[in-house]
Structure 1
Amino acid sequence: MTVEAAHRWGSFLDSVVVYEQGALCRRLAKGSVPPGGGVRVTGLPRSLEPGSLRARVTGVRGVSVSEARVVVEAEPLGSPAPEGLQDEVERLRNECAAAQGRRDHQLRLIEEVGALRPVPPARRREDPHRRTPVDAWLELADFVDERLTGLHTRLVELEDALRRAERELGIAVDRLAHTSTDAPSAHLATTVAAHVIVDVSTTDDPQAEVELELEYTVPGAVWVPAYRLTCRQGGGTGRLVLRASVAQRTGEDWTGVSVGLATADLRRGTGLPRLRSLRIGRSQPPSAPTGWREPPAGLAGLFAGYDAAGRQPDATAVPVPSASAPPPPAPQAYGAPPTLPAPGAALEPLVGHMPAPSRSARARTGDGRGPGGRPSAVPVPSAPAALGKTAPPMSPAPTAGPPQPSGDELDYANLVLCGPDEQGGRRGRLFPGSPFDPVATEYRRRAESVASLPLPGHAVRVRESAGSFDHRFDTAARADIPSDGTWHTVTIGEIAVGVHTEYLCAPALEQTVYATSVLRNATDQALLAGPVEVSVDGDYLLTAALPTLAPGEVRRVGLGPAEGIQVTRRTNLRESTSGLRNNTTVLDHRVHVELANRLAGPVSIEVRERVPVTSEPDVRIEERADWSVPEEGAGPDLHAPGTRLWRVDLPAGGSAVLDGGYEIRMPAGKALVGGNRRS
């Protein structure tokens, strides 16, 4: 084994936690630490988020990780790659284009033959009229008919061939769109590895085998919950199988991994907020920010040896612009004074681990300070000078107090040390920003396209159904999820829920009885909204929409019309007057409801009615029925004022009759507004 091979450790993906968008991956590697502690762990995906890599040693005391960074390697493939789906799609696309060309050529031939018409010769004025040669006309018609018959027969064959080619092309394009992205390109193999330095100086056995655990985040993974409910007719409990539809296009296939599903936002910032104090009284200078120190001197001599060796920066090279780079100098007009450098441009020394304020940040604030917040000694012209004259320089007034770096300059995880070839006084200094990798950015852009994938039926985004709480679910067994950008179903577990079937009807709106399944979440975890496949007595019934169920909450799930239960409703209105002078109008409403159970078992039916409500003091409504008012805290569909309920238990083959009604008493001169006297 070579030294290079000894320093490389293979790894395998052990677990994945899928969030609202994106995933946190956990990869394991094992081996003996070589001299120097440098280890390169291979197998990381190309879409890895920059700055998300974390590494630690598990199982061995006294061994720690002192450095971990991402390394991208590329090398040409040793042998030509076999023909893949992309080549197959190109071949079928060419065949489809050729078949379409043959079909179009046949159509043009049919059009040319169909346009054949007999053309008589031109007749001169002195020539007599000639008889039309009917036989020639008939022969031409027979020729055209025979020719068109053959051409149309051939056209049918060409159109069939074109349809077959288009169908094969569509299948190949669909397979290419849903193929796994965990594959190298046709000519170049790009690998992403983690360069880890393991410190074994404090352990008793430096040669012991250690296990590395790598964590990193990747975009391009989403999930939505799904369920399967099985129950028996008349039973009080059921089994609810928790499942999830997961789609990922992260660039690596998840094979045999433990899957966790979370509703949290993976990209939400977790930094501690900075609370600024409010002081009442005498003005005090602002306090120095935490982690700031004055930059050391000696930047000019730091690269003296580098410059003396002849490796000067290329004066013709165009520097790459960055967010913190100063704007290029404006062109000088003839006779105008030379432009002086920006405040602090020649006075910003190297910062060790803490950054000095960038020139762009000070240019935005316009405070005219030098490095460390001290006033700059370089004068700045206040306005453009006239031709041949210069304006007197003006020095900014000194401002007392500690330096005030911006938030970007204190974001230590996002600072980049510029190399010796940087220009404009940037080399050897820390600036906000991260190295731009266009290839990795393109990989991540393709991975994030999975977020726009159409949802399955009745599915709801997890953040919408989770509300203000975050939940996590872990699968009971390991699963395989390829990186193809399509939905795959994984099973989380199975729980027992309280379930019983009830029947609802509102005969005033529709004389139909609907079956509902009443679910009670008896667990200590929430059930998120999503599609649920309902099976009763082993037979699949339908797929319904399950609402979000908090622990202990009870909700209904609609199962559709119950054809075995019949309901009939009839009403009767009698209008009369009362009072000493017949000055009160009485509207007596009678409601008659009949129920019949044709099912094989007993049922519980809830009949819903509504009575009118009024806010007028001289209008009274008197109810004449044994119905009841919905209980406090009932479902949102029972919050409407005037809702009344009948609850009836019917045996198999039984029937029931419900009679109710109400009277409306109002002054004779009043009329109903927004209602119907006879409904």
Structure 2
Amino acid sequence: MTAETAQRWGSTLDSVVVYAQGAVCRRRARVGVPPDGRVRVTGLPRSLDAGSLRARVLHGPGVRVTEARVEVEAEPLEAGTPHALRGEFERLRDACAAAQGRRDRQLRLIEEISALHPVPPARRRDDPHRRTPADAWLELADFVDERLAGLHARLVELEEELRGLEHELGIAADRLARASSDVPSAHVDTTVCAVLTLDGTGDAQVEAELELEYGVPGAIWVPAYRLTHRQGDGTGRLVLRASVAQRTGEDWTGVRIGLATADLRRRTDLPRLRSIRIGRRQQDPAPSGWREPPAGLADLFTGYDAAGPRPAAPAAPVAVGAGPVPAVAAGGFASGPVPPPPPPPAPQAYGGAPAAPGSTAGLSTETIGGGLPAPARPVPSRPAGRPRTAGRASAAVPAPGAPGRGAPPPAAPAAPGHAAPAAPAQPPAGPPQPSGAELDYAALVLRGPEEQGSRRGRLFPDAPFDPVAAEHRRRAEAVTGLALPQHAVRPRESAGSFDHRFDAAARADIPSDGTWHTITVAEMPVGLRTEYLCVPSVEQTVYATLVISNATDQALLAGPVEVTVDDDFLVTAKLPTLAPGGLRRLGLGPAEGIRVTRGTNLLESTAGLRNNTTVLDHRVHVELANRLARPVTVEVRERVPVTSEPEVRIEERADWTVPEDGAGPEHHAPGTRVWRVDLPAGGTAALDGGYEIRIPAGKALVGGNRRS
């Protein structure tokens, strides 16, 4: 049973993990495994990365997956099954074009009627003056006015109809642009399948549950929060939400959502650290993965060339944007022009078409009839340093996936009057060193007899370009250009050098329409306390703040937070990134119920035996008044000057304290001093402080001696 005749089984999307860009989807399918083990699972999106497909057996007695590949099929839709939004858009577009045509014809008719005016006949030189037929002129003017009045009334109706259709067309275009991409186009239905080969089934048909995993582009997310707090309570509810936008080509309906801050495209393979030992003997170098090609590759397609040009055949339906052809499926030939065949040599059977990873260059195919390759059989490879046998026709075959390896083509003779081209650079001595892409045996493609020159019958890593898949990926990746919500920060920017993952507590629905959708992820336990803060030297206003402590083992990423205090929505603020166990202060705005005033006084005097020291005595007086119905704690901040000059001394005279840097939710500038005052409901408090600045006499502070 081939892949085309394999049984089809549907699949259901079970879970999705959205990364900073892109997502990893997992589908589940319950299949009945036939004796030959070939099944086809449908339902995959068109924009998936074919190289990311993984499959495993969840439940199945002794069943395991031995091969998984992606295939794409396209077929025309039946008549009467277009997309509803697209059909409505096309109908309105045609109606709008027809209305615009009627409006244009009405305008041309108005121009023709407006151009009607009386034209007197030409007067000859000898003719006497004639009387003007005023009645005819007036009748013509009345006719034109009456006709234009009717035409303009009709023009108003047509323009109103056109404006209505243009408005409806704009709405339909917007709905079509925002519609889910999990629908076929207007004319072609594309089906993406995973063709699996299962082993361990025996001769009887068994049932198994499979899980398919694949990566898709076109999905992003940003965190958001909702904070609920009651005054006087030391705890609160912080609900983590996420704004997710995706245009992957499939609707996520009833799936488990996971959110990760990692980069899906970042390489995760570990580097190989090779040691160099000092001594006489070194370790043998690792094999390069290259084998010398077998002899006789040039004669592999002699039977095909001897059969003559292939007759033209009608174009067969081809799967639009089909994935790369596996190396084992080398028996098909693409239609195309074939040059005239060379004289048929004696039929010979030579090898040279690799077929299996790991020993690709050591297998060959026998020509049967017109050169169709038969099943591969092993051919002993010649040692790397052994010369070829004289008189034996051969061509250098590249390593698996090494394009262009082998003998260079003969140089063409130089044209008269032109210098001969420079000789090509000689390749380095030793066996070729293929790159990582050339050693990816699963991605190699065997070139057929239509290829010319040194590409016939050889493996190359370049896969055929799929314009349809490229267009789907381009549309999917356009979702990364969406404007972020207010105060939103991308996860990679706020997570820093660490990666976190958050799993939603319930299943969610996110259509593939490329717009933001908000889902609830989980409730994060946090510690909260309300603090009032003021810096009267800068602004005589008291601000309410919430000090948030992260009591979880995961970081709280930066994002917008909706704050609700006592069941009343207060403000939407920006929550900074909060590491596990960290503290952050969140501002809630001015507290109108608490008043603060500040006054300063400067006394300048001299001191010393010879009055050689100037004393600048700064005194600060702060008054607080609590008009709230509950007791509050207010933190008043002042700042004293700091100096590095040995001649300048600063002496403080106040009961304020020096804040410990790093102990609170923020860092403090040098010279910061703090008062913490407990105010009862309706109470007041007065704070007095100050400092003296002692400088040498005859000198002054830059900017003036008053430090207010």
**TM-score normalised by L of structure 1:** 0.79
Distance 1:167 1:652 in 2: 60
> Are the structure 2 counterparts of residues 113 and 14 from structure 1 closer, same or farther at C-alpha, using a change threshold of 3 Å?
same
> Are the structure 2 counterparts of residues 83 and 451 from structure 1 closer, same or farther at C-alpha, using a change threshold of 3 Å?
closer
Which structure 1 residue ranges, 5 or more long, are not aligned? Answer: 117-141, 315-321, 323-347, 357-368
Distance 1:672 1:145 in 2: 88
- Give a deviation string over 1:220-252, Cα, whole Å, max 9, x none: 000111111111111001111111111000000
Which residue in the other structure is 2:334 paired with?
A: none
Cα drift, residue 433 of structure 1: 2.3
State the AA in 2 paired with 1:589: H
- Give a deviation string over 1:239-290, Cα, whole Å, max 9, x none: 1111111100000000111111111111112233233444657797982435
Distance 1:409 1:82 in 2: 44
Cα drift, residue 166 of structure 1: 4.8
- Give a deviation string over 1:622-649, Cα, whole Å, max 9, x none: 1111111121315685331111111112
Q: 1:253-292 alignment to 2 at 5 Å?
A: 253-278=251-276, 287-292=285-290
Which residue in the other structure is 2:448 paired with?
A: 419
Answering whether residue 489 of structure 2 is matched by residue 460 of structure 1, we say yes
Secondary structure at 2:657's aligned position in 1?
coil
Cα drift, residue 165 of structure 1: 4.6
Distance 2:421 2:492 in 1: 61
Which residue in the other structure is 1:187 paired with?
A: 187
Which residue in the other structure is 2:120 paired with?
A: none
Question: Contact 1:450–1:485 at 8 Å: present in 2 too?
Answer: yes
Secondary structure at 2:228's aligned position in 1?
strand
> Which of 638, 642, 665 is the matching residue for 2:694?
665
> Are the structure 2 counterparts of residues 633 and 311 from structure 1 closer, same or farther at C-alpha, using a change threshold of 3 Å?
farther
> Are the structure 2 counterparts of residues 578 and 495 from structure 1 closer, same or farther at C-alpha, using a change threshold of 3 Å?
same
Cα drift, residue 454 of structure 1: 0.7
Which residue in the other structure is 1:547 paired with?
A: 576
**TM-score normalised by L of structure 2:** 0.76
> Which of 583, 608, 613 is the matching residue for 1:579?
608
Which residue in the other structure is 2:433 paired with?
A: 404
Which residue in the other structure is 1:364 paired with?
A: none
> Are the structure 2 counterparts of residues 83 and 42 from structure 1 closer, same or farther at C-alpha, using a change threshold of 3 Å?
closer
Aligned residues: 617
Answering whether residue 38 of structure 2 is matched by residue 38 of structure 1, we say yes
Answering whether residue 231 of structure 2 is matched by residue 233 of structure 1, we say yes
> Are the structure 2 counterparts of residues 591 and 430 from structure 1 closer, same or farther at C-alpha, using a change threshold of 3 Å?
same
Q: 1:449-598 alignment to 2 at 5 Å?
A: 449-598=478-627
Cα drift, residue 519 of structure 1: 0.8
Which deviates more, 657-666 or 153-162? 153-162
> Which of 242, 245, 248 is the matching residue for 1:244?
242
Distance 1:619 1:393 in 2: 81
Cα drift, residue 210 of structure 1: 0.8
Which residue in the other structure is 1:436 paired with?
A: 465
Cα drift, residue 380 of structure 1: 8.3
Secondary structure at 1:425's aligned position in 2?
helix
> Which of 611, 622, 625 is the matching residue for 2:651?
622
Which structure 2 residue ranges, 5 or more long, are not aligned? Answer: 117-141, 313-323, 325-350, 362-395
Cα drift, residue 351 of structure 1: 4.9
Distance 1:603 1:638 in 2: 23
Which residue in the other structure is 1:170 paired with?
A: 170
Distance 2:174 2:591 in 1: 41
Secondary structure at 2:527's aligned position in 1?
strand
Which deviates more, 285-294 or 641-650? 285-294
Question: Contact 1:313–1:421 at 8 Å: present in 2 too?
Answer: no
Which deviates more, 611-620 or 422-431? 422-431
Answering whether residue 82 of structure 2 is matched by residue 62 of structure 1, we say no
Give the aligned CA root-mean-square deviation in angstroms.
Answer: 4.5
Cα drift, residue 160 of structure 1: 6.5
Cα drift, residue 213 of structure 1: 1.1
> Are the structure 2 counterparts of residues 385 and 304 from structure 1 closer, same or farther at C-alpha, using a change threshold of 3 Å?
closer
State the AA in 1 paired with 2:649: R
Distance 2:4 2:209 in 1: 19
Question: Contact 1:385–1:391 at 8 Å: present in 2 too?
Answer: no
State the AA in 2 paired with 1:485: G
Distance 1:230 1:479 in 2: 23
Cα drift, residue 558 of structure 1: 1.2
Secondary structure at 1:39's aligned position in 2?
strand
> Are the structure 2 counterparts of residues 581 and 474 from structure 1 closer, same or farther at C-alpha, using a change threshold of 3 Å?
same
Distance 1:619 1:147 in 2: 97
Secondary structure at 2:455's aligned position in 1?
coil
Cα drift, residue 398 of structure 1: 8.3
Which residue in the other structure is 1:343 paired with?
A: none
Distance 1:114 1:312 in 2: 70
Distance 2:113 2:652 in 1: 86
Answering whether residue 72 of structure 2 is matched by residue 72 of structure 1, we say yes
Distance 2:46 2:422 in 1: 58
Cα drift, residue 31 of structure 1: 2.0
